[in-house]
Chains A and B, each alone.
Chain A
Amino acid sequence: MDIDPTASIARFENVGLRYGLGPEVLQDVTFELMPGSYHFLVGPSGAGKSSLLKLMYLALRPSRGLVHLFGRDIATTARDDLPALRRAVGVVFQEYRLLEHLSTFDNVALPLRVAGLREADIKRHVEELLVWVGLQDHMNARPPTLSGGQKQRASIARAVIARPNLLLADEPTGNVDERMGYRLMHLFEELNKLGTTVVVATHNEAMVRELGHPVMRLDGGHMSVSHGTKYQTSNVQMGEF
């Protein structure tokens, strides 16, 4: 299944999400993410930031409403086509979610291996990327022996190795010091300049103000969007459906 590069990256229409019989954690969320945009996703703890990201990286299905990813309605997409959509989404998890029995190299190589690339190509790509994120000396190290920052960088490398169209990062600065936090944000900006659409969920309001990208704000399960102060205009459109 091919991804249409001109289609909107993600489109949510009146999306609601509840876990089991509990209350809705997301209510009537409606927005559209256009290609090449960079957004922060903010809100207090429990506002539904991680749940929204999970819907975007297809770890959950909405309880109601429509979710379109790369122009495809998720509800009607065949199970066999989901892996191709997921390969177009890179995810930096809050708890890294590296596989502890695999080396840094193998963790980062994972998206390429599941995509069926040749081992020689995988080696070349992974080694280049590990140099770029400064982990070239830790290729054979296993995650338990890495520091928080190193794990975070390995996690980012895994998220971007397959050149995803959409990069989602859930609290990427939560477990690293401020300096490392800014370095990661600049790394995401570099990727954004290369054409990757980026959504970063964060609590760090100061950083959000300073970097000036458009902001999607979740509060009590409802979403509002404010335009950023940076040159870029918000590519989030709301309530136009």
Chain B
Amino acid sequence: MFSRRTDLPLDKDALSGFLPWLIAFMVFLAALAQAGLIGLDELARRWDSGMAAQLTVQIPSDSEASGATDTRRLQKALNMISETPGVMHAEVVSENQVLKLLSPWLGVVQATDVPLPRLIDVELEPDVKFDARVLQQKLARTIPGTQVDDHGVWLARLIQMVRTLEALAAGVLALILTAATATVVFTTRTGLTVHREAIEVLHLTGAHDRYIAKQFAARAWALGLKGGLFGLALAAPTLFVLGYVADRLQAGMLPDMSLPPLGWASLLVLPLAAGLVAGLTARYTVMRNLRRML
């Protein structure tokens, strides 16, 4: 499909100088969009599979009850939850942990300063259909005011938002692909005009359209690959810096959004894809345009 030697002076085109830069810029943007897409997909899947099998039970603070009564109520709830079919593990969240979770909103406070609810983390058996409302009714009868949060509503909204962002990233990738293709079509057409005389000589010496198209395709493949590698070389440190900044921000506010190893590997495909898209587009453009010549 591609040919290394060329009878056309394609290296001397001014446009050949621009094409790798344009492709580098597009691959840079594509790498960011693809990394975003993979990171978000990973996040959504983790939320979907991990957190869907979790519940949080919230027992309201009773200001009139003594500490011993509070502990008894908590133990009672914990026993009820643990004995419920489908529950794999239940664990009380310590007051310190609750304070830590609330610290971004409340600042540094003591347990005695505010009436803190007690929380129980519940881990459900995977692949078991669990009805949180039944548990909620059972607990509320014994300890009034108890809330069971199965994360479902807000998780669904979050996942919907993530999926929307994913669609946006995929749209950006599609736009970049379109722009790259249009750029190659434009440069190839210009090349055909610039080298019209030499192409005519090749035709008159008996060259098939595909012989000429191969030479354009080989050049576009090489330029696309070169530009793609350069774009990826720029994108890699950018993604590292973004990952580092996200890690520092994390501190309980953001989930882990780092790119998995497979995600990094998939970025390596981008320069090859850039070369392939450029080569195939150039070949198609040349074949289509030469058909109009005799």
What does the 1/0 interface line of A86-113 toward B look like (CB < 8 Å)?
1100010000010101100010001101
B208 contacts A102, C-beta separation under 8 Å: no
A87 contacts B294, C-beta separation under 8 Å: no
Closest to A88 in B: B206
B7 contacts A83, C-beta separation under 8 Å: no
Residues of chain B within 8 A of A114, CB atoms compared: 202, 205-208, 211
In the complex the two chains form, what is the Cα distance from A59 to B291 in whole Å? 14
**Given A79-B291, A99-B7, A102-B7: A57 and B204 within 8 A (CB)?**
yes
A59 contacts B200, C-beta separation under 8 Å: yes
The answer to whether A80 has its CB under 8 Å from any CB of chain B is: yes
The answer to whether B241 has its CB under 8 Å from any CB of chain A is: no
B201 contacts A83, C-beta separation under 8 Å: no
A86 contacts B294, C-beta separation under 8 Å: no
Residues of chain B within 8 A of A115, CB atoms compared: 206
**Given A99-B7, A101-B12, A110-B7: A91 and B211 within 8 A (CB)?**
no
B204 contacts A91, C-beta separation under 8 Å: yes
In the complex the two chains form, what is the Cα distance from A79 to B202 in whole Å? 15
The answer to whether B118 has its CB under 8 Å from any CB of chain A is: no
B203 contacts A86, C-beta separation under 8 Å: yes
Residues of chain B within 8 A of A91, CB atoms compared: 204
**Given A97-B201, A114-B206: A61 and B7 within 8 A (CB)?**
no
B204 contacts A99, C-beta separation under 8 Å: no
Minimal beta-carbon separation of A102 from chain B (angstroms):
7
Q: Is the interface of B mostly helix, strand, loop or mixed?
A: helix
The answer to whether B161 has its CB under 8 Å from any CB of chain A is: no
What does the 1/0 interface line of A52-75 toward B look like (CB < 8 Å)?
000001111100000000000000
A111 contacts B7, C-beta separation under 8 Å: no
Residues of chain B within 8 A of A99, CB atoms compared: 7, 9, 198, 201
The answer to whether A151 has its CB under 8 Å from any CB of chain B is: no
Minimal beta-carbon separation of B173 from chain A (angstroms):
37
The answer to whether A131 has its CB under 8 Å from any CB of chain B is: no
Minimal beta-carbon separation of B285 from chain A (angstroms):
17
The answer to whether A158 has its CB under 8 Å from any CB of chain B is: yes
A87 contacts B205, C-beta separation under 8 Å: yes
**What is the size category of the interface that chain B forms with chain A?**
10 to 19
B204 contacts A60, C-beta separation under 8 Å: no
Q: Residue B206 contacts which of A79, A83, A101, A106 (CB distance < 8 angstroms)?
A: A83
**Given A60-B294, A101-B9: A86 and B198 within 8 A (CB)?**
no
In the complex the two chains form, what is the Cα distance from A90 to B70 in whole Å? 104
What does the 1/0 interface line of A138-166 toward B look like (CB < 8 Å)?
00000000000000000000100010000
What does the 1/0 interface line of B1-37 toward A look like (CB < 8 Å)?
0000001010010000000000000000000000000
What does the 1/0 interface line of B195-237 toward A look like (CB < 8 Å)?
0011011111111110100000000000000000000000000
**Given A59-B294, A113-B7: A86 and B208 within 8 A (CB)?**
no
B206 contacts A162, C-beta separation under 8 Å: yes
B205 contacts A58, C-beta separation under 8 Å: no
Q: Residue B207 contacts which of A57, A60, A83, A158 (CB distance < 8 angstroms)?
A: A83
**Given A60-B294, A99-B7: A110 and B205 within 8 A (CB)?**
yes
Residues of chain A within 8 A of B9, CB atoms compared: 99, 101
**Given A111-B206, A114-B208, A162-B206: A106 and B201 within 8 A (CB)?**
no
In the complex the two chains form, what is the Cα distance from A84 to B72 in whole Å? 97
What does the 1/0 interface line of A109-134 toward B look like (CB < 8 Å)?
01101110000000000000000000
A80 contacts B205, C-beta separation under 8 Å: no
B7 contacts A86, C-beta separation under 8 Å: no
Closest to A61 in B: B294
Minimal beta-carbon separation of A103 from chain B (angstroms):
11
**9 tightest A-B contacts by CB?**
A87-B206, A114-B207, A101-B9, A86-B206, A111-B205, A83-B206, A83-B208, A110-B205, A114-B206
Beyond A83-B206, A86-B205, list 18 extra A-B contacts (CB 8 Å).
A57-B204, A58-B204, A59-B200, A59-B204, A61-B294, A79-B209, A83-B203, A86-B206, A87-B205, A87-B206, A99-B7, A99-B201, A101-B12, A110-B7, A110-B205, A114-B206, A114-B207, A115-B206
Question: Can you report 30 residue pairs joining A to B where beta carbons are below 8 Å apart?
Answer: A58-B294, A59-B200, A59-B294, A60-B294, A79-B209, A79-B291, A83-B203, A83-B208, A84-B206, A86-B203, A91-B204, A97-B197, A97-B201, A99-B7, A99-B9, A99-B198, A99-B201, A101-B9, A102-B7, A110-B201, A110-B202, A110-B205, A111-B205, A113-B7, A114-B202, A114-B206, A114-B208, A114-B211, A115-B206, A158-B205
